[in-house]
Chain A
Amino acid sequence: MLYREAGQFKSSYSEDQQIFPIRQDRIAVVALLLIAYLVMPLVANQYWLTAILTPFLIFALAALGLNILTGYAGQLSLGTAAFMAVGAFMTYNFVLRIPDMPILVSFILAGLCAAAVGIVFGLPSLRIKGFYLAVATLACQFFVLWVLQRVGWFTNNSPSGVIAAQKIVILGYTFDSPVSKYLLTLTIVALMALAAKNLMRSETGRAFMAVRDMDVAAAVIGIRMMHTKLLAFAISSFYCGVAGALFTYCYLGTVEPEAFTLDLSFRILFMIIIGGVGSILGSFLGAAFITLFPIFLNLTTGWLAHTIGIEIPHAAVSNLEVIVFGSLIIFFLIVEPNGLARLWQIGKEKLRLWPFPH
């Protein structure tokens, strides 16, 4: 009764093609944004802002980037963290080396650098497919980290390889409190998610999906393979690059190349698998899940230790955490291979009929 499009008539093409065709969806998105912008800064304490909400948004952006490449264009990549690293370190260098560089411009430039790296390492995708490509993207992961560690220019010759993010100043306002960093991240992520949502509805997005579903068939109907695949790599890397810059500037503050290891790539891959491959919403759901899950697990073990009096040694807890995490991924894949986004879709179908069974 609450969620159905009955009675919502479209009287023009633009209405028919709008991004959220159902009124309830529009209301939900606006409400969500209002909550994120107005309620969260008031309600959330510093811990929530710095340790949960901001990283969640940043990971969601990175997952979105990977989802464009893997979920929409069908090119499996294990080099996400490397693209994030490029974004982070190039932002640092742009701000450091060019006087009076606006930080937002350097975010964008760093994203473009990541896109360039993405194009270079996307070139093999024209020849190789599937797991061969996945392993090939590992080359990117290892090579980029090695360059960042070896070439002193990137870290401004810092002996430990650690860079400290400069202050974020936009139009004279300094973003240094957790709330302001959160709001900045939120704005960038919201804008980029909107852009991604629109891009995937456009000709480009449809070309991506055609390549994903069967690239030979896509080539036959006249989709330019090189153009499309490299564009997918470029856009995806751009998103990951900006996410990496935010990761450094709004979340960690100081960062070293070792922060962007293969583990991070895998984490982001998990996000899109659990959230839903080929879904914008899924990137957010997956990021939320992966960010919240360890915290939830920690609380549970703490609660167990507290109430039942079972004192689990610390090493065992972290091992258990890993086991539960791994089993949960397997469980998710078995129960719902299409991820949380699919569950949401099923929920919507049910809501449409509710309270009737058919």
Chain B
Amino acid sequence: MNVAFFFEVLIGGLLAGVMYSLVALGFVLIYKASGVFNFAQGAMVFFAALTFVSLVERGVNFWLALVITLAVMVVLGIAIEKVVLRPLVNQPPITLFMATIGLTFVLEGLSQLLWGSQPHGLELGIEDVPMEWLSKATGMNVSQFDLFAAGVAGILVASLALFFQYTRIGRALRAVADDHQAALSVGIPLKHIWAIVWAVAGFVALVAGLMWGVRNGVQFALTFIALKALPVLILGGFESVLGAIVGGLIIGASEKLAEVYLGPYVGGGIEGWFPYVLALVFLLFRPEGLFGEKHIDRV
């Protein structure tokens, strides 16, 4: 076995895992704060990326487009809270989950209706090519864009952590995540908090959309990355930001390694289901994921 090649696959997988984590993060934020399993996160990623790229293609300045898209995502988050979630308060989780599937359809249709369905390329100024000095020194091909994406994810998680830890809104968010009723009773406005969480999730979706857009182009297939994020989510636990990151790394690395070393024996293309089966095996030992909250059942 070629050691350099092994590490190349491993590092590539870990960095790809960071990309999954970016998407999973959006799920976690919303699940933590409102207990909603937001299936529409993938559609939000697509919507954000498509809005951004369409604006840029129409000649809008890069930063202005970023700000506009961010504003759109915030408005979208608030609108979702008002139109979809508020009337569904106190419904069982499955109902809310179904509502977000409906939302997925709306967002997918809306984004393509507004901006058309042709795929777009996206450039952020960092090319998706292997770093030459690293290839020369060690023989490993590691894409510089992957490193950039990992850096962005790191900054995102760090700033989210700071936001949650040290701001007034962040404290309120954590309180709501802990206990809705208790948060309400000390005067935290639940509605605002939910709108904020959805807006933050929209922001995370935008970042994920940009990263994935550079990697795969901005096209309808972006919505499917939500499916890639789900095993990350159950592996790490629905309620844990740390879980999303660690889960992403584990899934990314093992998926790539399995594809390279196991794939040839079974006919390849196992990337589609391997993460799920892996997550499933993990769940058999830890039913709440690695970092999820333990549930105690009482009759």
Chain A interface (Cβ within 8 Å of chain B)?
A: 70, 76, 124, 127-132, 134-136, 138-139, 142-143, 146, 149-150, 214-217, 220, 262, 266, 269-270, 273, 277, 315-316, 319-323, 325-330, 333-334, 337
Does B125 sit within 8 A of A, measured CB to CB?
no
Query: Shortest Cβ distance from B243 into chain A, in angstroms?
Result: 12
Which of the segments B48-56, B71-79, B89-97, B126-134 contacts the partner chain? B89-97
In the complex, what residue of chain B is closest to A315 when comparing beta carbons? B117
Q: Say yes or no: B99 contacts A329, CB within 8 Å.
A: yes
From A269, A323, A330, contact of B113 by CB (8 A): A323
A280 to chain B, nearest CB (A): 19
Q: Does B280 sit within 8 A of A, measured CB to CB?
A: yes
Flag B233-271 by CB within 8 Å of A: 1 or 0 each: 110001000000000000000000000000000110110
* Residue among B116, B267, B270, B299 making CB contact with A214, cutoff 8 Å: B299
Asked if residues A322 and B272 are in contact (CB atoms below 8 Å), the reply is no
| Contact with A333, one of B99, B227, B277, B299 (Cβ below 8 angstroms) | B99
> Quick check: B289 and A132 within 8 Å, CB to CB?
yes
Closest chain A CB from B78 CB (angstroms)? 16
Residue B84 contacts which of A128, A262, A330 (CB distance < 8 angstroms)? A330
Q: Which B residues are in CB contact (< 8 Å) with A143?
A: 273, 276-277
- Chain A residues, CB < 8 A from B269: 146, 149-150
Chain A residues near B121 (CB-CB < 8 A): none
Q: Which residue of B lies closest to A74 (CB)?
A: B94
How close is B287's CB to chain A, nearest CB, in angstroms? 5
In the bound complex, residues from chain B placing their C-beta under 8 Å from that of A129 are 287
Cβ contact of B109, chosen from A128, A214, A262, A326, cutoff 8 A: A326
| CB proximity of B98 to chain A, nearest CB, Å | 5
Q: Which of chain B's residues has its CB closest to A221's CB?
A: B299
Given known pairs A124-B284, A266-B101, the reply for A220 and B276 (CB within 8 Å) is no
Task: Flag whether B219 is at the interface (Cβ < 8 A).
Answer: no
Contact of B272 among A146, A214, A217, A330 (CB under 8 A): A146
Contact A329 B279 (CB under 8 A): no
| Docked complex Cα distance between A333 and B101 (Å) | 11
Q: How many interface residues does chain B have, given as a range?
A: 35 or more
Report the separation of the CA atoms of residues A185 and B84 in the bound assembly, to the nearest whole angstrom: 38
* B289 cross-chain contacts in A, Cβ below 8 A: 132
Query: Whose C-beta in chain B lies nearest to the C-beta of A129?
Result: B287
- Is B233 a contact of A135 with CB atoms below 8 Å? yes
Q: Are A139 and B95 in contact (CB under 8 A)?
A: no
6 tightest CB-CB pairs across the interface, nearest first?
A: A326-B105, A329-B102, A139-B276, A322-B109, A323-B109, A326-B106
B280 and A139 within 8 A (CB) = yes
Please judge, given known A-B contacts A124-B280, A142-B273, A319-B112, whether A136 and B102 are in contact too, CB under 8 Å.
no
Minimum CB distance partner of A316 in chain B: B113
Q: Are A325 and B105 in contact (CB under 8 A)?
A: yes
Kindly list chain B residues whose C-beta atoms are within 8 Å of the C-beta of A321.
109
Per-residue interface assignment for chain B, residues 108 to 152, with 1 indicating a CB less than 8 Å from any chain A CB and 0 otherwise: 111011001100000000000000000000000000000000000
Q: What is the CA–CA distance of A270 and B266 in the complex, to the nearest angstrom?
A: 35
In contact, A333 and B276 (Cβ under 8 angstroms): no
B237 nearest in chain A by CB position: A132
Contact partners of B234 in chain A: CB under 8 A: 131-132, 135-136
- Are A135 and B104 closer than 8 Å at their CB atoms? no
Task: Provide the bound-state CA to CA distance between A215 and B101, in Å.
Answer: 26
Assembly CA distance A243 to B185 (angstroms): 50
- Are A322 and B108 CB-contacts (below 8 A) given A139-B277, A146-B273, A329-B98? yes
